[in-house]
Structure 1
Amino acid sequence: MQSIKNVEVGVVAHGLGVREVYSGEGKVYLTSFQMLEEKGVSYVPISFGKPKKRESIHFLPFSLPKFDKYQRILVKIPASRVKPKVFLNLSGVPIPLSRIAPHVIYAGAPAISSLPSKYIGIWRAYLIPFYLYLPKLKREASRCEIIANSKLSAKAISEVYGVREPDVIYPPVDVEKFGEVYAKKDREDMFVTIGRIERGKMLENAVQLSAKTGVKGVIVGSLIERDYLRRLTKLRDEIGAKVEIYHDLPQDQMIELMSTAKVYFHPTLGEHFGIPVVEAMSAGLIPLVPVNSGAYEVVPKELGYNSVEEASSKLKDLLNLDMREKMHEIAAGFSSSAFKARLWEHVSKYL
């Protein structure tokens, strides 16, 4: 790793070491590192906790899977120790760094936007630090360059920070790897859901979908909240859903599992984008996604739903369709190489 005194790019990746499996944000981290390495640019990752498998400038001597939103702000502490030519902030929050170096942010919708959120009722108090810190975030947003990960996120960023809607670069997807199985024809009447096993992913919607339709479902994700896994299992048993839940599967096993299903169900309302949606499309699955999500921007409009009830009414029809070729073609536009090329345009002008 380059010395922090002569590094060209400081890459702010607050959750490095926690979010590298089944995580869209982790995919963004790794693809951005690859971009800089391919361009021969020196960089240093900046994380809140210490990653297990990668060097970084960090604050805590261990990784921390909890308090993600706070980490996005507090990563400013280790970031302030670095003086690069430019900051590439992949954590999405406009923490004050532009007085040190030009600041480019790749961002999803802010947690305090008006989009659907897991933080409702008393849980809204979890976001109080964001409201208190908002004036500083707005000032930084007006000074730096922000790139959004979807049109949905771009509107939310403008709403919260009072800036013009930023340019959009959709996240990178390993379409080549997932596309290896798209032509497989021998598939079950089954849906797959992929996402971290944590409360904010709303995986209970997938359990409800199976119970309402009688269709088999599989949930795959990295285990973040064990209590939430127990809640999902209890719900499944109580309502008679035919859902299997696997956590921390190797990618090859996950892709093989996807190749046996016909439909991908995305359960997370208000999600900024949803990389697994495009991964599934590349693998030949038909996506069923919330209308109120970034993923709805990139799928045929008949594949959106507004409620689990509406998703239930559409699911059985989708099981009888063969849209593999069309889905694979759409997914091809979201390659990692396309992401790198567009992100490099924004970063390179500061080098």
Structure 2
Amino acid sequence: MRDRKVTIISVNNTIEPKTGGEYVYSVIKNALIKAGYLVHEISVPIILMRFVKSKERNFYESIMRVMIHMECLLKSLWERCNNHALVITSSSPLFPVMGHLVYHQPKTGMQIKKLKPYMSFYEKIGFSILEKEWLSPFWHFSKKTHIIHLSNSFFTKRLIKEIYGLDSEVLYPPVPIEPLQHIPKRRDLGVIVGKPKVLSGIIFLPKIVTKLPKETPFIVIGEADFVGLRVIRRLGRLGFNIKYLGYVSESIKLKLFKRFSHYLHLGLNETFGVMVIEAMANGCIPIAPKSGGIPEYLPRELLYSSYKEAAEKMASTMRVKDYELVLRLRKIAENFKEEKFESKIISYVH
């Protein structure tokens, strides 16, 4: 086991994870440490924080990011060639590094053409590279060094086979699920919406909101991009009952899920959907698109294929208080506890 040494090279902040993807790598790191491995981590956002204090993307930050990516590539080459440690990485055409094990978590919105006109310049470039691997020459070299490919869903397994020609095994990601104490039968009527950004489908929100009564409360959480803020403000000016809370801590997010009745997921081709599972675990009924990896676990009656259907399913579940459905969703969510993921990822490392 190479003296039980592991190097993790990724684009994830494992110190303060804010996304499901970052949380996965924090669990991987902690599981390896608990198992007695000597873990060395090279994280792009953690290194970047030392040099760039502003949260706004600028030219200096972009140059630093490119330099750090090159450092990661060279470090992975050194580790892989000298066989000093087992290398786990989030390698992709956008972040081509060498390694032994790759955990694939593609971005939401992959292959969704109707999102492209709303994307920023950086997002358009990024998605072009992710969807057309020939634009990333280092990726063709680095992927030949990978031994094990893991996908976060069967949808991802099919996706990376189609666009990268890679075979992989499915290992669903972990979700932070608190021990079950009590799921209240009475809840405030309200719809939580997360990730108000283009890639997460915020542009589709008006198509659903306008098909529901104006007094229906919508609570939007998460950092918004320019388009997301514009959508929220426009709905507010039109008289809809919408409130934007911005980024909220993990504890506040879970309190909201425990308080309100519904969670509306907008992202198309979401490869897994951690927030959907978090809602299910806390008694909040999710309504989500019939695309990506979400249909692999969410009951059919909560999936929508059109905006009209989304509004109808939300309205119908608001009228009928189905406590048995809430308990059934909680049971499904428990299949994604950290402990199961930790034991499986360690088995791959062994």
Question: Contact (CA 8 Å) 1:265, 1:287: kept in 2 or not?
Answer: yes
What secondary structure is seen at the aligned counterpart in 2 of 1:40?
coil
Count matched residues: 328
Asked if the contact 1:59–1:75 (Cα under 8 Å) also holds between the matched residues in 2, the reply is: no
Instruction: Check whether the contact 1:264–1:288 (CA below 8 A) recurs between aligned residues.
Output: yes
**Structure 2: segments with no counterpart, 5+ residues:** none
Shift of 1:193: 2.1
Distance 2:206 2:301 in 1: 22
Give the CA RMSD over aligned residues: 3.3
Distance 2:217 2:189 in 1: 7
- Between the aligned partners of 1:110 and 1:206, the Cα distance in structure 2 is 19
1:343 aligns with 2:340: no
What is the aligned partner in structure 1 of residue 17 from structure 2? 20
Give the Cα–Cα distance (whole angstroms) in 2 for the partners of residues 301 and 112 of structure 1: 21
State the partner residue of 2:151: 148
Alignment of 1:1-351 (within 5 A): 8-16=5-13, 20-21=17-18, 23-49=19-45, 51=46, 61-62=51-52, 66=57, 75-81=69-75, 83=79, 84-90=84-90, 92-93=92-93, 97-98=97-98, 102-109=99-106, 114-115=111-112, 118-120=115-117, 124-130=124-130, 131=132, 132-144=134-146, 145-164=148-167, 166-176=168-178, 179-180=180-181, 183-195=183-195, 197-214=196-213, 215-221=216-222, 223=223, 225=225, 227-319=226-318, 320=320, 321-322=322-323, 323-348=325-350
Query: Percent sequence identity over matched residues?
Result: 19
Conserved 8 A contact 1:32-1:340: yes
Pair 72,47 (structure 1): closer, same or farther in 2 beyond 3 Å:
farther
| TM-score normalized with structure 1 length | 0.81
- 2:217 is matched by which residue type in structure 1? K
Shift of the 207–40 alpha-carbon distance from structure 1 to 2, 3 Å rule, reads: farther
CA contact (8 A) 1:28 1:90 kept: no
**Distance in 2 between residues matched to 1:253 and 1:245, nearest whole Å:** 14
User: Could you list the per-position Cα deviations for residues 223-247 of structure 1 after superposition, in whole angstroms to 9, with x for gaps in the alignment?
Assistant: 253x345313322224432221112
Structure with the higher helix share, 1 or 2? 2
Partner Cα distance (1:89, 1:289) in 2: 30
2:252 partner letter: Q
The residue type equivalent to 1:175 in the other structure is I
Q: CA separation in 2, counterparts of 1:180 and 1:92?
A: 40
Contact conserved, 1:207 with 1:235, CA < 8 A, in 2? no
Distance 1:259 1:91, change over 3 A: farther
Distance 1:121 1:194 in 2: 18
Moved more, 185-194 or 310-319: 185-194
CA contact (8 A) 1:46 1:75 kept: no
Is the partner of 1:289 in helix, strand or coil? strand
Distance in 2 between residues matched to 1:31 and 1:241, nearest whole Å: 39
Amino acid corresponding to residue 260 of structure 2 in structure 1: A
